[in-house]
Structure formats: C-alpha cells, structure tokens
A and B are shown apart, each in its own frame.
Chain A
C-alpha cells in the first residue's frame, strides 16, 4: 500500500507519518491511498483507493491566497485590497472570520455572498470560534509569522438600479508579530509590496487594551508607530483610505460605564486626534467593532461590521433596493445563529431586513 497527501509538508508518502497525526493513516481525510492490497479492508478505504486509482487533477487549494495568486484576482476583477494591520491579539482575524460567519447565516449589510476562492482558509480560521471545536469559549487561531502575507477572498454582490453588481475583496491576514517588524524597520515595510497595491489600510487598535489604564498607552503608541512607519516609507498609494478600528468595543463600553469610564472615552478621542495627525494626507475613518462580543455584552454579534464592510466595498448601494430576507425558524427550540439574533434585536446599522418566520 502506498499513500499520498494533499496537505503541504506532509511526508506520509515517504516516511509513513501523517502530519495531521492520524493513526491509522487511512483515517486522515487528506490522505489518498493507492495500491491493491487494501481493497477489501473496508468500504471507505475501498472508496479512497478507487479515488486514488483514477487519473486525478489538482484543484485550487482553497487556502488563503499568496500575493501572486491575489494578483490574479486583481488582474481579472474589480477588486478592493484591504491591508489589515494591528498588533498581536488585537482581533484582526476575528473580524474576518465573523464576517464569514455572518454570510453563512444570511446576506449581510446589503451584500450577498457570490463566492470565495478561500473557503478552506476561512473554515480553518473559523474553527476555534465554533461549537464544533469542542470548546465552550470562542477563540481565534492566531496567524503564524511563517505564513507571511496572505489574503482571504470574498466576492460580494449588491443590487443596483440596473441589475446586480459585484466586487471582489482581498483581505490581508498577517501575523501581529510581522507588524511589530513593520513598526521597527523601514526595510521591513519596503519588503511588503502588497502594501503598495492596497486601496485601504485598516489599523486595528485593541479595545481591551485601550480600556485598561496600564496597557492603553503602549497599545496606542504601537498602532500609531506602525501607521507612521508605513506612511513615512511611502508605502501607501495616493487615495488610499485609512480605516481605524477600535476592536472589542463591548469591552470598551463596559469600561466606559464604570466610575472612571469618562477617562476611557477621552483617551479614545485623543487617540483619534493623534492618528489624524499622523495620516493627515489620507482620508481617515473610525469604526467601533465588537465582532464577537461576550454573551452578556450590550453589543450584538458583528457590531460595527456592516459599516466597516460598506467602507471596504467603497460603493454606493442603491437606496431603493429591496430589503434583504432573513429566515428564522418559528419553533423556539430550533437554533438560530448569532447574526440572525442581531437582526432580531434590530441592530443592523441601517441595513434593512425582512424577517420571515418559517
């Protein structure tokens, strides 16, 4: 029996060891067995062998796109490239996975899911935030430095007066550690050609740290310094919009409701002023985001994401388009998702939904 595997770096074919740790290797969903001596063992293995015995062609991996593959999207389609920057654990990847989770439930913020070349990449990154990970608390897989600069892809459609329009979004997913290097080294900025093509740069400030008196100054300074480093290196094209995100906004609101809460909001106002002065030659937009708030938070799932997405898409959706539909199970015992819950509570930031109870 011989085996082959589609997983990058897996040497099961030569060493017999499965990079995913499956034993026996036939239980690994990536592995393809071939040969003749296992055909009668069990049906599933039999199917795998039959599959491997056919002449197979490689399909696109579905993983996040390298710069080269992302360039193919920009070459062929109307595309917005969003470069998302922020320190480690500031919530960059969570924003991307929550956007994807919202589309799994319904059209979102006036847009309809039209496709994605990175479904595997989205699924892989979303897993730790799901019940199916076996966890009771959502986490986000941190992006490893070794991945370098990769992009998640969405193709989103919207109604126009003369029919359906659509636009592609390339959303960078880059490790926080890499952005540490951008802050400290102009050479590191110069080595990121993807920045030059970005139509928007999105800087994420960790709201949890902003709400913490001992961490807020370091946090603000890190983000401001990254932005300054990128701008002074001339890495942003003219007309590039700077989106500033205060992430984990539910934590900020909770801190603001405490006795010393006014300090937090004053600090945020000052932060906005400092950012504006660093990015004086660019249009700056501020966003308050609670992508995946705690269950007892006052903000719903995906708070602020509709406005952010509309900013990224950089288009005017026709004002006379029909409201979008959300289908809600009528039986109370039936489960509905976090985004549907947000629609039911009416927090959709201007996007109109018609709720159908089925």
Chain B
C-alpha cells in the first residue's frame, strides 16, 4: 500500500452547497453503506465538525453554512481500491463570504492563499438557482427589448457600479484566475465543478452542457486553460430532494447514502457522491 498527500480547496460563493456536500461525502465514506472505490480505513483523530454537519444532514435539515469564524479544516485518509493507495486529504471548508469579499475588496485571507499555493485540486461549487447574469442593452431607447423580454436579472439595479453588480460567472473566473496565479507550478490543477441542487433544476441536459449554456464565460475559461486545468463538471444532489417538499420521502430511504446522486460530464448515468473526489485524487 503506497501513501500520497492531496491538498484540496473547496471554493464557491455563499449558499453554493459546499458544506452539504461535505456532510454527505463524510457519511458515504465513514458509514460505508454503499461499497465504492473509496473507503475510510481508519477514523481521523478530529471528527467534530464533520459529525456535526452530518447529524443535520441525516435528519434532513439544513446543514447550515460555514461562518468565517468557523475554522473548519477537514483532514482524512481515504483508501483507493483501484490504485491501492492511501491518500491523506486536507480540505479547508471556507465561508462563501470569503470568496464574495475576495471579489469585492480585492483582498484574501493569508491562510487561503497558503492553501491555494500548495493545493493539488479544487472543488468549485455553483448553486444553479443563484447564478446571476448581467444584460447588455442596445443603443438608444430600448423599451421594445424590455417588453419582449421581461427583466429576469437577479441583480439589484444601481446607477453606479459596485462589485455586487457582477455576474456570478465573472466572479468565479476571477477566483480561478487568482488561484492559478498563486498556485505553485506543480502540474495541472484538477478542478471538479459541482452544480449543486441538481434535482431542483429538473435539467434536461447533462452537467457539461448546462455549464456551457448558463455560464459560457466560465466554460470558455476552462476550455481555454486546458493546458493548466483538468476539469470535469458534476451535477450533484447531496440532499436528494427539497428539504421541505421531499422531507418525509427522504427520511424513508433506509440507507441515507442512497439519497444522493451525481451526474458527470456529458452523461445522465447516476454515480456515487464520491465521484468528484475520485476525479480529484486520481492520477
């Protein structure tokens, strides 16, 4: 059995599903209700944070979000049955506010920059119902355009530009650019783009096509940087449904790990909740 280290970042704006995914992933690995490629050969010494968020997840309750005062760095060792390796994973669960403020203030916590410098891969979370876009106007009076296409922007109009008047895709590209600039040149960055709450958007397209359609700038950025980023897009339902509407149905599922499902890339096939992690730590 060989041993490697994998330092991963968890990125995404507030409410993008980072902590919920961690809770579901932890349960999948630790409870081992479903046998998969990855397993947990032994418990890590500090499990307080993971067990806390898992308790909420198991009870089909919101797992809460990570505040900036919660220094939640997860460390665990997983065993990969395909490569026969034990992989030590370090994974800081940062507040989504950190990433919003990074765009708004052009400052970042030193801790984050140190993680960024040494990371081998990253999760990038996107909540599909929170994707904000901007809309270019034509010249002159554009009332006809407005009538034909009612305003759908979720961005509050303001006469003067502030950083909040920015599309989600632009903010995420900025986060990725800064990560690439900061990261030590140790091979390509592996990036798992995770579209969370996949069950809620009733997508008729696979995750890759969803990203192309809804966030074309981000999709271009990933394609254009394929010499330095290896990426895959995942659609993930970490809860398995709506916490209110589907509450009873979710509680009725006897193996909690079976609530979650993942779709990968251009496929509609259901995969394990650990698929993004498998992608990030595979060679």
Q: Is the CB of B69 within 8 A of A107?
A: no
Decide yes or no whether A127 CB sits under 8 A from chain B. Answer: yes
Tell me, in angstroms, the Cα distance from A60 to B141 when the chains sit together. Answer: 37
Q: A127-B161, A130-B135, A292-B139 are in contact. Are A56 and B108 (CB under 8 A)?
A: yes
Chain B residues, CB < 8 A from A37: none
Q: Given that A112-B224, A138-B136, A293-B138 are known contacts, is A59 also in contact with B107, CB under 8 Å in the complex? A: yes
Q: From residue 129 to 145 of chain B, which have CB atoms closer than 8 A to chain A?
A: 134-145
A104-B170, A138-B138 known; A6 vs B107 contact (CB < 8 Å): yes
Residue of A nearest to B213 (CB): A327
Specify which chain B residues have a CB less than 8 angstroms from the CB of A30 in the assembled complex: 104-105, 162-163
B158 contact set on A, CB distance < 8 A: 132-134
A121 and B129 CA atoms in complex are apart in Å by: 27
**Segment from A47-55, A180-188, A277-285 that makes contact with B:** A47-55
B108 in contact with A129 (CB, 8 Å): no
Q: How far is the CA of A121 from the CA of B138 in the complex (A)?
A: 21
What is the interface of chain A mostly: helix, strand, loop, or mixed? Answer: mixed
- In the docked arrangement, what's the CA distance between A329 and B152, Å? 14
**In the complex, A205 Cα to B98 Cα: how many Å?**
45
Known A-B contacts A56-B107, A56-B110, A335-B135; the reply to A104 vs B68 at CB < 8 A is no
Q: In B96-152, which residues have CB < 8 Å from any A CB?
A: 97-98, 101-102, 104-111, 113, 134-146, 149, 151-152
Using Cβ atoms and an 8 Å threshold, which residues of chain B touch A358? 204-205, 209, 213
Chain A residue total in the interface (Cβ 8 A):
68
Chain B residue numbers with a CB within 8 Å of A29 are 104-105, 162-164
With A32-B107, A54-B110, A132-B157 as contacts: A338 and B102 at CB distance below 8 Å: no
B106/A114 in contact, CB under 8 A: no
A181-211: which residues lie under 8 A (CB-CB) from chain B? none
Contact between A335 and B161, CB atoms less than 8 A apart: no
Is B223 an interface position by the 8 A CB rule? yes
Residue of B nearest to A137 (CB): B141
Q: Is A126 an interface residue (CB 8 A)?
A: yes
Residue B43 at the chain A interface, CB threshold 8 Å = no
Structural contact, A335 and B157, CB atoms closer than 8 A: no
A103-B113 contact, Cβ under 8 Å, with A50-B69, A124-B161, A132-B157: no
**B90 → A minimal CB distance (Å):** 19
Distance A28 CA – B163 CA, assembled complex (angstroms): 10
In the complex, the number of residue pairs spanning A and B with C-beta atoms less than 8 Å apart equals 209
In chain B, positions 66-96 with a C-beta closer than 8 Å to chain A are: 67-69, 95
- In angstroms, Cα B227 to Cα A157, docked, is 11
Contact B109 A157 (CB under 8 A): no
Report A-chain residues with C-beta under 8 Å of the C-beta of B226: 164
* B167 beta carbon closer than 8 Å to chain A: yes
Shortest CB-to-CB span from A285 to chain B, Å, is 25
Question: Is B283 an interface position by the 8 A CB rule?
Answer: no
Query: B165, A123: Cβ atoms under 8 Å?
Result: yes
Please determine whether B137 and A51 come into contact, CB atoms closer than 8 angstroms: no
Across the interface, A295 reaches (CB within 8 A) one of B144, B212, B227, namely B144
Whether A137 pairs with B139 at a CB distance below 8 angstroms is yes
Whether the Cβ atoms of B101 and A51 lie closer than 8 Å is yes
A168, CB-defined interface residue at 8 Å: no
8 Å CB contact of B152 from A104, A294, A327, A335: A335
Q: Mind listing 28 A-B residue pairs with CB under 8 Å?
A: A6-B107, A29-B104, A32-B107, A47-B67, A103-B220, A104-B134, A104-B169, A104-B216, A107-B216, A113-B221, A114-B224, A115-B173, A117-B177, A119-B174, A119-B177, A120-B163, A124-B161, A131-B134, A131-B151, A132-B156, A132-B157, A134-B157, A136-B137, A157-B225, A164-B227, A293-B138, A296-B144, A356-B209
Give the interface of A toward B (CB within 8 A). 6, 20, 28-30, 32, 46-48, 50-51, 54-62, 98, 101, 103-107, 112-117, 119-120, 123-124, 126-127, 129-138, 155-157, 164, 166, 292-296, 301, 325, 327, 329, 335, 337-338, 356, 358
